[in-house]
Each structure stands twice: as C-alpha cells, then as structure tokens.
Amino acid sequence: MGECVNQTGFSCTNDRCECHGITPEPMQSLEDIRKYEKGEILAVLKRGTIKRHTLLDALPFYISDRRMRDYVAELIKDGQCIQSSNDGYTLIESETQLAEAEKYLRSKAFPLFERANTLRKNFYKSEGKQLTFSEFLDNTTTI
C-alpha cells in the first residue's frame, strides 16, 4: 500500500484510516473505542508538535475538542509525557521540554487559584462574614 498525504499535510502511515479506504473493524465496547481513539491521538503526536485544531483534522475520525483534550489528560495519567503549550501538543523527550511544560502549566494555574481565592472572598463578603487574616489564610486556595 502506498503512502498518502492527508489534507493536513501530514504523511499518513495508518493502514486503518479513511485515507486508504480501509476502516477499523467494528468495535465491541466503549472501552475499545476509547483505546482506539487514544492510540490514534498518540500516533499523531509522535509525528511532532501539533496545534489542537490540526490534531483534530489529522485524526481519521471525528472527535470534539473537549473529548480530545480529555483523552490527552487521560494519556498523561496513563504515563505518557505530553507537553501542552502555546505551540500545541508535543511529546516530552528532554528535561528542557519538561521544564518548559512545568512553566507553562504554572502560568495557567496561578490565575485559576487567584480566581478561586477571589470567589471565596466574594462569597464570604456577600454572606456578611468578616474573616480574620488567619481565617482567610486557612480558607485560601494555595498552589
């Protein structure tokens, strides 16, 4: 079977994809489908850094952005080292990439913790409860 290039410009080496006119065998369970879809995402990530929307287009099946992001999170929990950044997703292969991934995640985490603390402060203020400094520290979300 010859190699084809799909519409995203990536070389398609998957003999099960629609580019080749061959579809996967019918799946028996939801777990089989999830395993197949996560495997396909990982196969595309092995090609190099890729933006989310390009990753969605490179997959041989339709998947929502939310579901794809959930799968990436599951792959990380399953032991894969996947970096998320402004450049897209990348498989982490060096300590430098690991440090960049940690820095990016911390930059995203701080605003969320700050928002959580503001919500907590606003809630107590709306309830008319004045917190002492030590109570505030006890009720503050920390990184």
Rounded Cα gap, residues 83 and 80, in angstroms: 10
Q: Domain containing 136: what range?
A: 94-143
Whether residue 82 contacts residue 89, with contact meaning beta carbons closer than 8 Å, is answered with yes
Both 102 and 66 in a single domain? no
Q: Are 29 and 76 within one domain?
A: yes
**Same-domain check for residues 40 and 86:** yes
Q: Are 19 and 84 contained in the same domain?
A: yes
* Mean pLDDT of the chain, nearest integer: 80
Name the phi and psi angles at 15, rounded to 5: -75, 0
pLDDT above 80: residue 5: no
pTM of the model: 0.61
Q: Are residues 37 and 75 in the same domain?
A: yes
- 2 and 52 housed in the same domain: yes
- Residue 101 · residue 92 · CB < 8 Å: yes
Please give the Cα distance from 49 to 98 (Å, whole number). Answer: 14
Q: Tens digits of per-residue pLDDT, 25-49?
A: 665 788 888 999 999 999 999 999 9
CA dihedral 123, 125, 127, 133 (to 10 degrees): 90
The total number of structural domains in the chain stands at 2
If asked whether residues 79 and 109 sit together in one domain, one would say no
Residue 19's pLDDT band, with cuts at 50, 70 and 90, is low
Clarify whether residues 73 and 122 are in a common domain: no
The rounded distance, in Å, linking the Cα atoms of 3 and 32 is: 27
Of 76, 93, 110, which residue sits at a domain end?
A: 93
Based on the fold, state whether residues 75 and 12 are members of the same structural domain.
yes
User: How far lies 141's CA from each of 63, 105, 122, 127, 136, in Å?
Assistant: 34, 17, 14, 19, 10
